[in-house]
Amino acid sequence: MAMIGIQVCYAGVTLSARATMVHGLSPRVFILYRQAFATIFIFPFLYFSRKKSKIASLDLKSFSLIFLVSLIGITINQNLYLEGLYLSSSSMGSAVGNVIPAVTFLISFLAGYEKVNLRDLRGLAKIAGTIFCVAGATSMTLLWGPKLLNSEFALPIAKSLLEDLKDQNTWVLGCFFMFSSTLCWSFWLILQVPITVYYPDHLSLAAWMCLFGTIQCAVVTFFLEKDPSAWILHSYSELAACLYAGLGSSALAFTVQAWAISKRGPVFSAMFNPLCTVIVTILAALFFKEEIYTGR
């Protein structure tokens, strides 16, 4: 139930982020404010939730591990993903994420966290699931076919969203960015296994990841975003999108996901990512009038 709730949060972030970015919000600025709001929210909550009002301290090893995880799973992953999301579409952004279970399984197997017995039904199911994940994500990326929905009718706001879609080469580049982000996401899930063993306080772990992610994203945005006006949120919808992403998809999701990984492992957490595709594709077709093709 917790992992299903997280996928609903991620679907909302995918749709709201896409809508705000095509109207001018910088992806890097969106990520920065997202992490900043998450940090502002989670640290006071963490402080008052402790009986001794004390946040777990970090030693050098835990600091290094959490800083590395934040760099891979937040800063690099989110910048690649949102840049790809801006260049392609929200439904494609969630579709490429379907390879996360497969990539996570393969890396976990190589790292020794997952065992595969070819004589066992569970082992065969894992291998078959990996093949289907990759095949499904590849087909959704490469196959088009006739338009199934939203081929002619679109609301004015939806037309403005579709008019900002780039040409085919830019779309493929967006898919490449998003696939690279899935690799970072898989490594992020797996690296949490040793971290949760060494640093088992899930709420505190999420708080430190949000803080480190905010600092790292601020440095990236400072060097890459040269326009000072891009740092300003120009509408309540942009503010709402950043708040929702920060509170629901960063502060809350990081905490719950760390807990789920400590209980069931990284592959279990990654298994639920395809659910986000279903939610995003349906809602994007209904509200943003994104085109759906039979090949997908």
Specify the 3-state DSSP secondary structure of 149. strand
* Cα(220)–Cα(131) distance, integer angstroms: 36
pLDDT at 142: 67
Per-residue pLDDT at 34: 92
Residue identified by tokens 């890097």 is 28
pLDDT at residue 94, as a whole number: 66
pLDDT of residue 155: 40
Q: pLDDT in tens for each of the 296 residues of the chain?
A: 999 999 898 888 888 887 888 788 888 899 999 999 999 998 887 777 665 445 556 778 888 888 999 999 999 998 998 888 777 766 676 677 778 888 888 888 888 777 777 788 887 887 888 788 778 777 766 666 676 665 554 444 444 444 444 456 677 788 788 889 989 988 988 888 888 777 778 888 888 999 999 999 999 999 888 888 888 888 888 999 999 999 988 888 888 888 888 888 888 888 888 888 788 878 887 877 777 777 66
Q: Which residue has the tokens 């590849």?
A: 138
**At 164, is the secondary structure helix, strand, or coil?**
coil
Q: What is the pLDDT of residue 35?
A: 93
Which DSSP category does 148 fall into?
Answer: E
| Burial letters 159-174, b for 16+ CB under 10 A, else e | eebeeebeeeeebeeb
pLDDT for the residue numbered 176: 85
**Domain ranges for the chain:** 2-51+58-293
Q: What span, in angstroms and rounded, lies between the C-alpha atoms of 151 and 174?
A: 22
Measured distance CA(284)–CA(15) in Å, rounded: 7
| Residue type (1 letter), 102 | A
Measure Cα distances from 222 to 24, 89, 100, 216, 250 in Å.
18, 26, 30, 10, 21
pLDDT of residue 70: 93
Closest among 9, 7, 16, 14 to 241, alpha carbons compared: 16
* H/E element, 136: helix 121-142
Give the pLDDT confidence score for residue 90 in this predicted structure.
66
Q: Contact 7/275 with Cβ under 8 angstroms? A: yes
Q: Give, in order, the Cα–Cα distances in Å from 69 to each of 173, 214, 216, 220, 283.
A: 25, 13, 12, 16, 31
Of the candidates 287, 283, 255, 285, the residue with the CA atom closest to the CA atom of residue 269: 255
Residues in contact with 36: Cβ distance below 8 Å, sequence separation at least 6, in sequence order = 214, 246
Instruction: Please give the model's pTM, rounded to 2 decimal places.
Output: 0.77
Cβ–Cβ under 8 Å, residues 66 and 208 = yes
